[in-house]
Amino acid sequence: MPVDGSLSKFTETLEDGQPWPRPLCPKCQEGYIRFAEPKMNENTSSLAAHQHEAWDPEWIEGTFVSEGTCENPGCGVTAYATGTYEVRYSNHIDLGASDPYSAFYTVGQIYPPPLMMSIPAAAPESVREGIVRASRVLLTDPGLAATALRGTVERFLTTEGVRRQTADGGFRAVHLRLDEWRNADDSREQVGHLLSAVKWLGNAGTHEDADLTVLEVLEGATLLDEAFQRWFRGPDLDAKALAIIQAKGPAR
Ligand SMILES: [Zn+2]
């Protein structure tokens, strides 16, 4: 995985009986989570409405929980997807079907939360925590997730030795810290741009009237993932390539 594309599919309502997206397991990072048939609980007000003379199946609404299991037999972790459902005309109706209605699920949360992007092995612990934190709220509050991704950029800068505070104890603006990091070495230009874009998305997510979508946050995660891949893995791969070139074959 760079960024888990299956998570973007959770932004759509999922019709009953159709296959669910299978996110990468947050525990083992090897297997995929397969969700079982959701267990529905119709709201009390929705149940009461059945007595109304004009009642229609499209009035039905409630909450659900679906139990997911990691397909990796060595892991088998259980994850729960919860959210709301409503009933409306099926998108997959057979001609002549007696019941044209279907339940449509909107997933609000998955616990434990799948990671929205990969974590390079060489990434410091605080950067890892930042990615986990952002992933936790991706579906519930995309604006907060974007803010947490920006926080991950800040954590990265701190681990890179860029000061967080001014001489008098105030906090330094992220863009100043980013400029300092980028200007320290010509080779940081491109990674610096990627980090800067994530910062801007985070700023947009922080505003009181933030309306960032899950897809926009996942786009930010794609940029951050690319920045970290280049920064943490790039030098390793460059060294490996050089060793193979010098050995004119496998570097043993
Ligand atoms: Zn697993």
Ligand 1 centroid from CA 111, angstroms? 13
CA angle 12/151/113 to nearest 5° reads: 40
Can you tell me the mean pLDDT for 1-18? 87
Q: Among 34-43, 212-221, 236-245, which is the least confidently predicted range?
A: 236-245
Asked whether residue 234 is domain-assigned, the answer is yes
Tell me which of 111, 135, 168 is where a domain ends: 111
Q: Does 137 lie in the same domain as 236?
A: yes
Asked whether residue 119 is domain-assigned, the answer is no
Tell me which of 84, 111, 138 is where a domain ends: 111
Which residues span the domain enclosing 242? 125-247
pLDDT of residue 221: 96
| pLDDT value at 56 more than 80 | yes
Can you tell me the mean pLDDT for 37-55? 96
DSSP string over 1-49: --B-THHHHTTS-EETTSPPP-PBPTTTSSSBEEEPPPEEEE-HHHHHG
Question: How do residues 18-41 score in pLDDT, each as one tens digit?
Answer: 999 999 999 999 999 999 999 999
Ligand 1 centroid from CA 112, angstroms? 11
Q: Does 93 lie in the same domain as 165?
A: no
Asked whether residue 104 is domain-assigned, the answer is yes
Q: Does 242 lie in the same domain as 135?
A: yes
Give me the phi and psi of 231, to 5 degrees please.
-75, -50
Q: Does 206 lie in the same domain as 100?
A: no
| pLDDT value at 96 more than 70 | no
Please classify residue 127 by burial: count the beta carbons closer than 10 Å to its beta carbon, then call 0-12 exposed, 13-18 middle and 19+ buried: buried
Determine what percent of the chain is predicted with pLDDT higher than 90.
77
Short-list 140, 200, 196, 144, CA closest to 7: 140
Ligand 1 centroid from CA 161, angstroms? 35
pLDDT of residue 153: 97
Q: How far is CA 205 from the centre of its chain?
A: 14
Asked whether residue 118 is domain-assigned, the answer is no
With contact defined as beta carbons under 8 Å apart, do 32 and 23 qualify?
yes
Q: Does 59 lie in the same domain as 29?
A: yes
State the chain's mean pLDDT as an integer. Answer: 92
Asked whether residue 151 is domain-assigned, the answer is yes
With contact defined as beta carbons under 8 Å apart, do 128 and 29 qualify?
no
CB within 8 A of 52, min separation 6: which ones?
Answer: 59
Can you tell me the mean pLDDT for 205-226? 90
Asked whether residue 117 is domain-assigned, the answer is no
Amino acid present at 228: F
Ligand 1 centroid from CA 71, angstroms? 7
Q: Does 238 lie in the same domain as 163?
A: yes
Ligand 1 centroid from CA 115, angstroms? 12
Short-list 187, 132, 181, CA closest to 154: 181
Tell me which of 87, 111, 135 is where a domain ends: 111
Q: What is the DSSP letter of 54?
A: T
Can you tell me the mean pLDDT for 209-225? 92
Q: Does 235 lie in the same domain as 132?
A: yes
In 50-137, at which residue ranges do the beta strands (DSSP E only) sit?
61-70, 78-89, 101-111
| pLDDT value at 229 more than 60 | yes
pTM: 0.85
pLDDT of residue 1: 55
Q: What is the DSSP letter of 56?
A: -
Q: Does 181 lie in the same domain as 69?
A: no
| pLDDT value at 95 more than 70 | no
Q: Does 102 lie in the same domain as 129?
A: no
Question: How do residues 145-189 score in pLDDT, each as one tens digit?
Answer: 999 999 999 999 999 999 998 888 889 999 999 999 999 999 999
Q: Give how far Cα 135 sits from Cα of 4, 143, 232, Å.
A: 11, 12, 20
Question: How many separate domains does the chain show?
Answer: 2
Asked whether residue 185 is domain-assigned, the answer is yes
Q: Does 98 lie in the same domain as 50?
A: yes
Question: How do residues 113-157 score in pLDDT, each as one tens digit?
Answer: 999 998 888 889 999 999 999 999 999 999 999 999 999 999 999
Angle between helices 214-228 and 142-159 (to 10 degrees): 20
pLDDT of residue 204: 86
Asked whether residue 230 is domain-assigned, the answer is yes
pLDDT of residue 200: 94
DSSP string over 140-191: T-HHHHHHHHHHHHHHHHHHTT--SB-TTSPBPPHHHHHHHHHHT-GGGHHH
Ligand 1 centroid from CA 64, angstroms? 23
Higher pLDDT, 119 or 96: 119
Q: Does 137 lie in the same domain as 238?
A: yes
Ligand 1 centroid from CA 37, angstroms? 19
What is the C-alpha to C-alpha distance for residues 153 and 47, in angstroms, rounded to an integer? 48
Q: Does 177 lie in the same domain as 85?
A: no
Determine what percent of the chain is predicted with pLDDT higher than 70.
98
